Structure 1
Amino acid sequence: MLHRLTGFALLLLLAAAALFLAPTPRAAAAAGDDVPAWLRQAAAATAPAYDNDVPAVVVNDESTITVGEDGRVTTVTTYAFRILTRAGVKRAVALEGYDTDSGGKILEMRAWLIRADGSVKRYGKDETVDRITDSYNLYDESRLKQIDATRDAEVGSIFGYQTTTENRPWFPQAEWWFQSDVPSLSSRLTMVVPAGWHATGTVFNAPKLDPVVTGNSYTWEMKNLPRIEDEPASPSVRSLAAYLAVKYGPAASTPATAVKNFDSWSDVSKWYTELADPQVAPDDAIATKARELTSSAKTELEKIQAIGRYVQNLQYVSIQIGIGGWRPHAATQVFAKQYGDCKDKANLMR
């Protein structure tokens, strides 16, 4: 019996020693996690007091877009916010979109949850879900990657994520929203372009904002941004929020230039005309149907109305692959298959 008690006492002593020597959650997190410096700095930021209905505050919101001479774009994004209320827990989701038909891909996606006690939970490839962006399209190459941390998040936590994406956009343009429905301490966009290129930006729903230019780097930043409050029957947040539209490109584009300038609506019109005009050509079947539809029409307007009614009744089906997001399908194809999207139908009526 004494032997058993002695053994039990020894176990208790060993357990107590283990507890005493074990690192605290805060120390364990500091020693073993790989939380990046930008997130550590954001987590330490001091935010003012907010109303009780403010669910979260953004403590870091930044993207750096690097443009190659071939038009390919690499974007590194960091984003983090502090959860202020239980309603803010549902925001602990990282989302990043990409278009496979334009060569888009997500090179890296990671997330971290820093709890109020300093402990850290990391998220990576195993916690990432890849899904379609828009389920309304019959076929679409736009996709999303998502990390959901809502089951782990709690009031007082900091949730942050970092993504690196690569794509080749159809247009040399970028947009950046500074504001959202929660306040933000800092929001910054940096664009790095090749030598000899330039970037120009226009700010909407806010005073003029000139970029800080360092060599080929352009940076726009706003700080201490209020939230866009929800009101009954109000416009969308994106209609009211301060945002930036950036256009970039070489000083002068040529037929051999990978990126074309769109300096005016005439440039846009010329580009789209060259894209859509070859798709208009009718065949005998279309011409015969047009004569049939307008045979009883007495005026030009009645002819237009007859053709418009016919096209409106075609099945609406959207199939957008690659440049097909902008270029309509051939009129002969749309007529033969009896379906198409907005631009397909408009093209058929020409």
Structure 2
Amino acid sequence: MQKRFLFLLLSVLVCGGNCWAGETPSYASFTIKPELSKGANAVVRTEETVFTVLSPKSSTERIKRVVTVLNEDGKQHARLVVRYDKLNTVNFIKGTVYDLLGKKVKTLKTAEIKDYSNTSDFSLYEDNRVKVAELSLPSYPYTVEFEYQVTSANMLFYTGWMPLDGEKLAVENASFQVNLPSNMPPLRYHEQKVPGKVSVKQEAGQQVYLWQVNDVKPVEEEVYGPPFRELVPLVRTAPATFEVQGYAGTLETWQALGEWQNKLNAGRDQISEATKQQVQALVKDLPTPEAKVKAIYQFMQNKTRYVSIQLGIGGWQPFEANMVDSKGYGDCKALSNYTKALLEAAGIKSHYALIYAGDDNRPILKDFPNSQFNHVVVAVPTAKDTMWLECTNQMADAGYTGSSTGDRYSLLITPEGGKLVSTPRFTASDNTQLRTVQVKLSAQGSGVGEAFTQFAGLQHEPRGAVVQHYTPDEQLKWLYKNTQIPTFEIKKYTLEKVKGEPLVKEKLQLELPKLASVSGKRLFITPNLMNRWTGVPSSTENRKQEVIWSMSFHDVDSVEYEIPAGYKAESVPQPVKYTSIFGEYKAQVQMKGNKLTYVRQLTMHKGRHAASKYMELVNFLKQVSRADQQQVVLAAETT
């Protein structure tokens, strides 16, 4: 009876007396189901996204989103960010905040909507801007409601839908509706983890597509698992026909996307006769096409710098090669177009190539042609292979794709249109760390040493960046932070980026004050001086997500110790060798005279495996970690 009285009293407070007529507070926090709020920082109460294609030239997108913020960590969901530019206009933004009982407290005022430039640090000029609105209350939980609309003239891109767009977030109800004129081709879409079937119907001269989700619980990434966007409901949409600022195209095939890009590039590859003659003289006596490509690439690097300029169609159309030639700068599109023109002047065929660049290596949906790219490079076919040229980095090596553009798909823009091809995949033998160390150990447990290491492929990139961009003092600080020795002092160092190769050579002269632990007449030493594996994930038997090892590499460490006179090995670890689908490990210690030699090899293979293989990875890394910590005991000989 008492519980019922409290419930009725709360209902009166919430509804202001109106609930007796059957009205229920929409946004009262107590109405959220426990299974949704458990583990959540915020809950989307309702989200309605309506994307309306008006014609191949324009569209509107209206979004209404209501989110209950449960705690401080969920406060980010009380902030609205709307991006716009020359091709996208914000029509309106509305906002309201409600207290825990669902009572309206405040309405967003126009003066509270902030407007900022969204220009990148590396850009000379962009027309990208953002409107930002924030609503909050002093105590949790509270609910915010935002509604806004954007009109777009950039029909290369249709909107996508990801109702669960963050960890520790739940969704009560969300819908995504796309409206197309009946005289346009059907909507092209790609679904991921969406429960139920899309509803498709004809209504008032429109094709109407509707997706809905209900009661979506929070999703969290697991260690060594897929990225978050692979784990949640997601609908991607794309046009069949479109037009951007007078450039019309179709998107049903990769070839068609390339044909549209060719329209944008047409006539923009002209350079002066003087530059052509300069290029031809540069390569005249070079023996191979590869040598000529490298020379022209270096010519471009020495002559230009990267500056991003994004204005309207300029997000996809390069500036003229002549402009880059005279001004000496350009963005990825302009520099790639210019490099292609230089190669053409030397009679070398090349292709402008669209690619998704970045360490996250987001996979391309090969069976869903649309613009999935954010960068442009140049591909040069040769008799042996294709040379890939990154034109925005004045220090990059010709032909090296690396972590930014390697092992992924790129769209070559050929005269016939687009052609999807893959960039080089790195194996463990490409990404090596080869180290030799000479150490002299004293009877007091201290030592001095010299370590020489060669870093190749992906493993050279961090140090390559340090060499290129850091002062000597900054380099030394970086080495202290990134050298894995318990206690050490760097007396002298050299870091050298090998010209023309993805290779860095490092040499360290080290003082090692606590190389060994001393106990009476014994010295305890961990022979693996600089490359101990410590990152072992926690064990779990109910793994849900696939297991991803994201990089192949091969490490070899060879450490030779000169032990003090009068000491001998009392205990030496046995050789170990472990093998799994993830990699191979072996290590051994040998004693010969007064020299103790430790050799360790670890090879890891990039791959994606079933969730059931997670414990195999955990156990393998545990074995590696234990082996890396094994000690040698040296004892003083008694007389």
TM bucket, shorter chain? 0.7 to 0.9
* Structure-1 separation of matches of 2:225 and 2:161: 22
* Structure-1 separation of matches of 2:53 and 2:248: 10
**Does the alignment pair 1:334 with 2:321?**
no
The 8 Å contact of residues 247 and 263 in structure 2, kept in 1 or not, is answered as: no
User: Which of these residues, 279, 284, 291, is aligned with residue 280 of structure 2?
Assistant: 291
Displacement of 1:241 in angstroms is 3.1
User: Which of these residues, 166, 175, 186, is aligned with residue 173 of structure 2?
Assistant: 186
Residue aligning to 2:312: 322
Displacement of 1:163 in angstroms is 0.2
The 8 Å contact of residues 41 and 70 in structure 2, kept in 1 or not, is answered as: yes
Q: Give per-residue Cα distances to partners, 1:302-340, cap 9 Å, x unaligned.
A: 111112223344211000111111011111111111111
User: Which of these residues, 88, 93, 112, is aligned with residue 96 of structure 2?
Assistant: 112
SS of structure 2 residue aligned to 1:278: coil
Residue aligning to 2:472: none
Q: Give per-residue Cα distances to partners, 1:95-134, cap 9 Å, x unaligned.
A: 21112x21x2111101111011424111131110011224
Deviates more, 1:204-213 or 1:170-179: 204-213
* Structure-2 separation of matches of 1:259 and 1:77: 28
AA matched with 1:333: M
Displacement of 1:186 in angstroms is 2.2
Displacement of 1:209 in angstroms is 4.1
The 8 Å contact of residues 114 and 120 in structure 1, kept in 2 or not, is answered as: yes
The 8 Å contact of residues 269 and 337 in structure 2, kept in 1 or not, is answered as: yes
The 8 Å contact of residues 269 and 338 in structure 2, kept in 1 or not, is answered as: yes
* Structure-2 separation of matches of 1:219 and 1:276: 37
Displacement of 1:296 in angstroms is 4.4
**Does the alignment pair 1:202 with 2:190?**
yes
* Structure-1 separation of matches of 2:211 and 2:309: 36
* Structure-1 separation of matches of 2:330 and 2:111: 39
User: Which of these residues, 117, 120, 134, is aligned with residue 135 of structure 1?
Assistant: 120
AA matched with 1:185: E
Q: Give per-residue Cα distances to partners, 1:160-200, cap 9 Å, x unaligned.
A: 10001112114153222132221212222111112322213
Going from structure 1 to structure 2, the CA distance change for 1:177 and 1:292 (only over 3 Å counts) comes to farther
The 8 Å contact of residues 89 and 155 in structure 1, kept in 2 or not, is answered as: no
SS of structure 1 residue aligned to 2:34: coil
**Does the alignment pair 1:97 with 2:83?**
yes
Residue aligning to 1:277: 266
AA matched with 1:226: K
Map 1:164-313; keep pairs closer than 5 Å.
Answer: 164-171=149-156, 173-181=158-166, 182-197=169-184, 198-206=186-194, 209-215=197-203, 216=206, 217-232=208-223, 235-249=226-240, 260-313=249-302
Structure number with larger C-alpha Rg:
2
The 8 Å contact of residues 202 and 208 in structure 1, kept in 2 or not, is answered as: no
User: Which of these residues, 336, 356, 359, is aligned with residue 346 of structure 1?
Assistant: 336
Going from structure 1 to structure 2, the CA distance change for 1:299 and 1:212 (only over 3 Å counts) comes to same
* Structure-1 separation of matches of 2:232 and 2:142: 26
SS of structure 1 residue aligned to 2:286: coil
Going from structure 1 to structure 2, the CA distance change for 1:26 and 1:349 (only over 3 Å counts) comes to same
Q: Give per-residue Cα distances to partners, 1:39-74, cap 9 Å, x unaligned.
A: x64557633335764211111122111221362211
AA matched with 1:224: D
* Structure-1 separation of matches of 2:47 and 2:181: 24
The 8 Å contact of residues 98 and 143 in structure 1, kept in 2 or not, is answered as: yes
Going from structure 1 to structure 2, the CA distance change for 1:310 and 1:242 (only over 3 Å counts) comes to farther
* Structure-2 separation of matches of 1:57 and 1:41: 13
AA matched with 2:331: D
Going from structure 1 to structure 2, the CA distance change for 1:58 and 1:51 (only over 3 Å counts) comes to closer
Displacement of 1:269 in angstroms is 1.0
Going from structure 1 to structure 2, the CA distance change for 1:266 and 1:249 (only over 3 Å counts) comes to closer
* Structure-2 separation of matches of 1:227 and 1:267: 39
* Structure-2 separation of matches of 1:294 and 1:43: 73
* Structure-2 separation of matches of 1:95 and 1:278: 38
* Structure-2 separation of matches of 1:241 and 1:264: 27
AA matched with 2:190: T
Considering only aligned residues, what root-mean-square deviation do their CA atoms show, in Å? 3.0
Residue aligning to 1:62: 48
Residue aligning to 2:144: 159
SS of structure 2 residue aligned to 1:224: strand
Q: Aligned pair count?
A: 312
SS of structure 1 residue aligned to 2:160: strand
* Structure-2 separation of matches of 1:63 and 1:277: 37
Displacement of 1:264 in angstroms is 0.6
The 8 Å contact of residues 36 and 216 in structure 2, kept in 1 or not, is answered as: no
The 8 Å contact of residues 175 and 210 in structure 2, kept in 1 or not, is answered as: yes
Residue aligning to 1:85: 71
Identify the structure with the greater helix proportion.
1
User: Which of these residues, 60, 81, 97, is aligned with residue 74 of structure 1?
Assistant: 60
Residue aligning to 1:10: none
AA matched with 1:322: G
Deviates more, 1:285-294 or 1:226-235: 226-235
SS of structure 2 residue aligned to 1:49: helix
Going from structure 1 to structure 2, the CA distance change for 1:186 and 1:134 (only over 3 Å counts) comes to farther
The 8 Å contact of residues 185 and 224 in structure 1, kept in 2 or not, is answered as: yes
Residue aligning to 1:11: none
The 8 Å contact of residues 159 and 236 in structure 2, kept in 1 or not, is answered as: yes
* Structure-1 separation of matches of 2:57 and 2:124: 29
Q: Which has the higher contact order (CA 8 A, sep 6+)?
A: 1
The 8 Å contact of residues 70 and 258 in structure 1, kept in 2 or not, is answered as: no
Going from structure 1 to structure 2, the CA distance change for 1:109 and 1:331 (only over 3 Å counts) comes to same
AA matched with 1:191: V
- The sequence identity of aligned pairs, in percent, is 21
Going from structure 1 to structure 2, the CA distance change for 1:132 and 1:208 (only over 3 Å counts) comes to farther
Going from structure 1 to structure 2, the CA distance change for 1:97 and 1:294 (only over 3 Å counts) comes to same
Identify the structure with the greater strand proportion.
2
Going from structure 1 to structure 2, the CA distance change for 1:258 and 1:270 (only over 3 Å counts) comes to closer
